[in-house]
Amino acid sequence: MKTKLHQSAFSGQLALGLALVAVLVGLAPAASPSPEDALALAPVQEGVDYDRPEAAVAARCTISAERINGNVGWIVSSPEGVILRKFVDTNGDNRVDRWGYYRDGIEIYRDIDTDFNRKVDQCRWFNTAGSRWGIDRNEDGQIDQWKVISAEEAAAEAVAALAAADWHRMQLVTLSPDEAKSLGLGKEKLANLLGKLATLEKDFQTVARSPKALPKTACWLQSTGGMPGSVPEGTDGSTKDLTVHENTMAVVRTDAGHGQLLLGTLVRVGDAWRLIDVPRPMSDDAASAAAGFFFASPAVMRPKPGTAGPDQAAQALLAQIEEVDKAIQKASDPKQQAALQARRADLLEQVAEAAGSSTDRVMWYHQLADTITDAIQNGAYPEGAKRLGQLHDRLAKNPADKDLAAYVRFRQIMADYVLSYQVTKPDYEKIQKTFIENLEKYVEQYPRATETPEAILQMAMTLEFIGEEERAVKWHERIVADFPNTPQAAKAQGARTRLDSVGKRVAISGKTTSGDPVSLDDFRGKAVLVQYWATWCEPAKADMAALKELVGKYRGQFRVLGVSLDSRPADLAAYLKENPLPWPQIFETGGLDSRPANQLGILTVPTMILIDAEGKVVNRNISVAELDKELKTMLR
């Protein structure tokens, strides 16, 4: 069987076809190309940071034909056995249609030919390289649409577009009129938004050509501006919930040092984030131009009068942070990692205290707390929990810093909880008890903090998992009563309904993967099992074989309704293509925070609910092992 590695010529890159032969039995290559030839292939998109061994090392690399998930492909490895490339023929037409590029043994980028015409039409970034998924419709090497892009990656693209004065690149991360119309906004809000979008290109060209325009060498370093928020259905006449980032900023690096760029508002559309403002270098007029569009406009972050960004002292600190970040990427020793993380925290705290405004100070302290928390969760800075505690105690002494102290304390509690499981023999009962006690104290100390609804929800979830459901319901009710317009309230309301659902009818409805409406009412007169699951949940997938048998055993008397809590429709579609299921699947983006999940406050998967022929809940948390016995009783 002959398989060719082929990648079209884009951006001056020559097409390189390598005749490869793989013997199916054992996949022993009869005429392998040299590793140097295979390593000469490059990603279609520029700026991909992948392993490129020097010529002397490349000569000692190996290339081998292998079966890869049932497909034939070639793997290029370093002399030490670390994967450098993976090229796969996914449709058996004897030509490679997927090119994978690796860094440090991890795939970080992939070119894909989905229509098998020997031209790349999709580009994806993975793992430490991010989550972008670009579509190249005309196969010319230029991204035409971001199917998936995070808020941070959209910000980085916006900075790059402004630096290059490239409106096309900017347009790919701005909200289109059609996308705006799909958000379900009220008439007045939609009209205001469409008017705003109509001037974006003109505004972009003005900013890109202004004397204060970003230099071509500018690059994004990080985004700031706090957590995203949900605008609930009904706000200003809207018909859908909406997730947005307001008053976001980007820290950028230029040849002259570091600066701040006001990004304004970002909106989530499916799995992609879009901007509705043109990024602007910090100035008084830029600050007013980016006042919040969806939230009540808070005080925006302003630099010191007469400046366009951080002062020289702050720039020096940011430069040091950048050097520390580079060292963190290279460090492999745990002690060295921890020391570097501590150094980064020291520098961020200095930046926060040197901030020229109270808003900047809050922003940098949030960045400090988030950085420490992320490092703890990644196992790089276990001492960080103690650092958070010290930071909280210091901030709590000043009444003006109460909100900051609450922000830090909540992250300390979550960090302590993560660390408590990392001991050799964790005492689970003690860990859960301590976690609940800490959250209760937090709610008592900070009853109206921004993080309080999440703290209560975490507490209620834990109480439910350990069987204290009455206490869990009381806390769910507290969220609904005190924080009715928060995302946590939607989850809590659904959980409260589910916990009190046995013997009652519940509403479960949505659209299937083909867009057709479906609800429990469609199954009236039959026993129904509602299975909440996700493609990443192996126990849920393992249950499906038994469910298929039971559907066949009880024929028309028993049906299954699936509710997929995957975050991305592509994951569900790919799984169902390989593993067709004989029952409908409700799906909406959002995973465990999606509307179908919140209908009954689903906290984890798999969760299965058994409904009788009258539409009443028989068992709100049944297992496959219990199901046959329960059905025999119900259908007797």
Full DSSP string of 19-37: EEEB-TTTT-BSSPPPHHH
Cα 460 from Cα 474, distance rounded (Å): 8
Beta strands in 207-345 (DSSP E): 219-224, 229-231, 242-254, 257-269, 272-275, 280-281
- Distances, alpha carbon 27 to alpha carbons 66, 156, 355, 509, in Å: 6, 43, 61, 48
CB 317 within 8 A of CB 350: yes
Note the pLDDT of residue 290. 41
CA dihedral 446, 450, 454, 459 (to 10 degrees): 0
196 φ/ψ angles, rounded to the nearest 5 degrees: -65, -45
DSSP per-residue string spanning 546-581: HHHHHHHHHGGGEEEEEEE--S-HHHHHHHHHHS--
The ranges of the chain annotated as CATH 3.40.30.10 are 509-634
The rounded Cα 1 to chain-centroid distance in angstroms is 40
**CATH fold for domain 509-634:** Glutaredoxin (3.40.30)
Task: Pull the structure tokens for residue 367.
Answer: 């960045």
Cα 343 from Cα 372, distance rounded (Å): 11
CB 538 within 8 A of CB 568: no
Report pLDDT digits (tens) over 343-355.
999 999 998 888 8
Note the pLDDT of residue 8. 40
Find where tokens 């490239």 sit.
166
* Second-level CATH architecture of 312-499: Alpha Horseshoe (1.25)
Inter-helix orientation angle 402-420/358-377, to 10°: 0
3-state secondary structure of 142: coil
Q: Return contacts of 325-329, CB within 8 angstroms, 24+ apart.
A: 328/380
Report pLDDT digits (tens) over 11-69.
323 233 333 333 333 334 445 678 888 899 999 998 898 999 999 999 999 998 888 87
Note the pLDDT of residue 311. 59
Find where tokens 């995203």 sit.
228
Cα 241 from Cα 535, distance rounded (Å): 25
Q: Is the alpha carbon torsion for 159, 161, 162, 164 positive or negative?
A: positive
- When computed from its CA atoms, the radius of gyration of the chain, rounded to whole angstroms, is 27
Question: Which residues on neighbouring strands pair with residue 250, listed in sequence order?
Answer: 223, 261
Note the pLDDT of residue 297. 38
- Mean pLDDT along residues 94-112: 92
CB 247 within 8 A of CB 298: yes
Residue 402, pLDDT above cutoff 70: yes
H or E, element range at 146: strand 145-148
Report pLDDT digits (tens) over 137-164.
888 888 999 999 998 899 999 999 998 8
Question: Which residues on neighbouring strands pair with residue 100, listed in sequence order?
Answer: 86, 110
The ranges of the chain annotated as CATH 1.25.40.10 are 312-499
Report pLDDT digits (tens) over 481-520.
999 988 899 999 999 999 999 999 999 999 998 889 999 9
Pairing of strands 272-275, 509-511: unpaired
Report pLDDT digits (tens) over 166-212.
899 999 999 998 899 999 998 888 888 888 888 888 888 888 887 77
CB 301 within 8 A of CB 358: no
- Backbone dihedral region of 232: left (phi > 0), alpha (psi from -120 to 50 degrees) or beta? beta
More confident residue, 334 or 109: 109
CA dihedral 364, 368, 373, 378 (to 10 degrees): 110
Question: Which residues on neighbouring strands pair with residue 275, listed in sequence order?
Answer: 174, 266
